[in-house]
Structures are given as C-alpha cells and as structure tokens.
Amino acid sequence: MNLYTTELRRLGKRRFVRYLTLAGLLVLVAVAVGMFLTNQKIGPAQVAEAERVAERDYQQNVAMTQQFRAECERAKVAGDAPRDRFPEDCSSITPPPRDAFQAEWHLPATFEFREEFAETLITVTAVLALVAFVGGASFVGAEWSTGGMMNLLLWRPQRIRVLLTKLGALLSALFGVTVLAGVLWTAAFWATGSLRGSTAGMTAGAWQSFGLTGLRGLALVLLAGALGFGLASLGRHTALALGGVLGVMVVGQFGLGVVLAMAQVRFIESWLLPTYLLAWMNKKVTLQDWAACQASYTGECEPLTRDITWQSSSVLFAVSLVVVLGGAIWSMRRRDIT
C-alpha cells in the first residue's frame, strides 16, 4: 500500500484532528454569521433616521448649554458663582455648531467589502493556523507516544522517508482544508457585502491584492502545521510542541515585553512575534516611538518610526522552519527508535 495514501487515511481517522478541525470551522462559521447579522445595507431610511438622531442630539445639547448659561448668570448675579464651575464670562458658554453633530456617526454598521475584507483574512488565517499547529503536533506526537511510529518503521525502516511522508500528508491536507475554507469564506463575505453592505469599487487590482493576502495566509497555515509537527517530532510527544509554544508566548513574549519596557528599549514590538505575523499578512507594520519626539519644520512632534516588512517576517519564518524541521530530521536519524 502507498505510504502517502496510508498516512492521509491515518490523519483523517484521528478523532482529535477531526474534532479540532470541526471546532475551528465552527468558529469561522460563527464569525461569518455574526458579521452578517450585525451589518445592514444603508438606504434612504437609514440616512433619514441618522439625520433625525443627529438633530435630536444637537437640540439636546443646545438646551443643556442654555440651561447651564442661565445657571451661570444667576450665580453671577447672586455673587456666589464657583470659579471651578463657571467661566468668568457667562456669554462664552455657547453650544457647538450644528456641523459638529454628524449623521454618519449614527448610521448602522455596514460591511464594505473592499475596505474590510482584508482584515477578515487575518481572522481566518489565525484560526486555521492554530488548528494546523495543534493538529500537526497531535498527528506525529500521538504516533510516538502510542508506539505507532515504531510499528510503522518495522514495516518501512526508512526513517527520514517515513517522517517526511507524514509531513507531506499533513501539509497536503492543510492545503486542501485551507483553500476550501478560503473559498467559502470569500463567498460568505461577498454575500454579506451584497446583502448587508456594499461590494462597490471591486477591481481586478483589488481581487489581486486579496488573492496575494490569501496566499500569504495559506503559507502561514502551512508553516504553523510544519512547526507543530517538527516540535512534536523533536520531543516525541504532543505536549512538547504545545508546551513550547505556550512558553514562547507567555515567557518569550509577555515576559520579554515587560523586561524591554523596564529597560526602556525603543520599538519593543519589533522583538515580539505578533508584530511579524501582522507584517506578513499586511505586508508592512509601522512602529512608532513617541518618547523620541522629533520636531518637524512646523514645530509639531513627530515620533520615530520603524517599518517591519513581510520580507523581515519571511526571514524569521524561514529560519524557524529550517531549525525545527532540521532538528526533527537530525533527531530522527540519530536517535534510537525504542
């Protein structure tokens, strides 16, 4: 029997992987349904209602201002006006202009597909990457902890080939699930934009931009699966991968952030992993340091900035992948199978 086909079947039959994938997809369904229900298409009725609410707020503010001014004038006449409550001149108490009350502030939420869909791709990528990492770690970790790997190597004694075939089966399954989820995700939010918002302004360039963002998300999901697989293979147990990522996030991220803040290091975010994840998905993240103010020619304070680009993220991800998978392959080749 073909080893790759066997590993695919083995992966599909693992109940934990199936339930984990189902849970991740249900989370995405809940997000998509929530976005559909909390948005609505804006028409003349919604605009008229927003105008009415803005006018009501303006009139209420005018009445409150007039009441406060009258209290100020009465207190001035009585000679007991508190200085911390009323100004010196009661005539300075005037209501704000009408244009300070914008009707746009009272419009209901509406989904602008071109403006907002890219942000939703980060959500679907994050959920699927988590599923990929835990599922990849469980897939190979369970083989080690239950003795399945040893039994398999009796049938196929080529250690590296077995390990890489398992990884290939995992990545191909992740590829299929991610692509299918991405297509359904796009269709769901296109329906939300069509029925509960707007899909205006979509051009070939916009679709190309979304497609490239989706490809970067796909690469991130595959990377997460490969890292989970590699870490669990290194420790020969699922717990090592999960404990390792927990340690990185709690100690390496939270603890490191606290230490860097205490040391007053500039651009603390440049040392934290989430910054590079966002830079990978958004192509660039601009960090600002307001503590290092630079006066512009107009005299305004402009913070120092540092750009974290997707190229920087790709270097970090590539090094992590080479170290983890290289270590897993080396361990598989050097250590005894017992």
The mean pLDDT of 140-168, rounded to a whole number, is 68
pLDDT at 77: 75
Which CA distances in Å does 223 have to 80, 95, 107, 316?
72, 57, 41, 12
pLDDT at 297: 56
Q: Which pair of tokens denotes residue 307? A: 């750009």
pLDDT at 296: 54
Nearest-angstrom CA–CA distance, 33 and 27: 10
Q: Which pair of tokens denotes residue 43? A: 């028409």
The mean pLDDT of 173-194, rounded to a whole number, is 95
pLDDT tens per residue across span 227-253: 989 888 887 656 565 666 665 666 666
Positive or negative torsion for Cα 213, 214, 219, 222: positive
Q: Please, how many CA atoms are within 13 Å of residue 315, restricted to the half-sphere of its CB?
A: 4
pLDDT at 264: 73
Nearest-angstrom CA–CA distance, 136 and 147: 17
Average pLDDT value over all residues in the chain: 83
pLDDT at 213 over 90: yes
Q: Which pair of tokens denotes residue 292? A: 């290092």
Q: Determine which of 108-117, 172-181, 298-307, 311-320 has the lowest per-residue pLDDT on average.
A: 298-307
Q: Using the 8-state DSSP alphabet, how is residue 200 labeled? A: T
For tokens 């992966």, the residue is: 11
Q: Determine which of 221-225, 257-261, 270-274 has the lowest per-residue pLDDT on average.
A: 257-261
Nearest-angstrom CA–CA distance, 99 and 101: 5
Amino acid at the residue 284: K
Q: How confident is the model at residue 70 (pLDDT cuts 50, 70, 90)?
A: confident
Q: Is the pTM of this model over 0.95?
A: no
pLDDT tens per residue across span 290-334: 666 655 555 667 777 888 999 999 999 999 999 988 888 887 776
High-pLDDT (> 90) share of the chain, % = 38
For tokens 């039994």, the residue is: 151
pLDDT at 338: 46
pLDDT at 94: 86
pLDDT at 289: 76
Task: Pick the more confident residue, 301 or 213.
Answer: 213
- Give the bridge partners for 302, in sequence order: 294
Helix (H) or strand (E) holding 288: strand 284-295
Task: Pick the more confident residue, 143 or 280.
Answer: 280
The mean pLDDT of 154-167, rounded to a whole number, is 74
Nearest-angstrom CA–CA distance, 329 and 201: 49
pLDDT at 75: 78
Task: Pick the more confident residue, 142 or 195.
Answer: 195
Q: How confident is the model at residue 127 (pLDDT cuts 50, 70, 90)?
A: very high
pLDDT at 173: 94
Nearest-angstrom CA–CA distance, 224 and 321: 9
pLDDT at 21: 92
The mean pLDDT of 57-72, rounded to a whole number, is 88
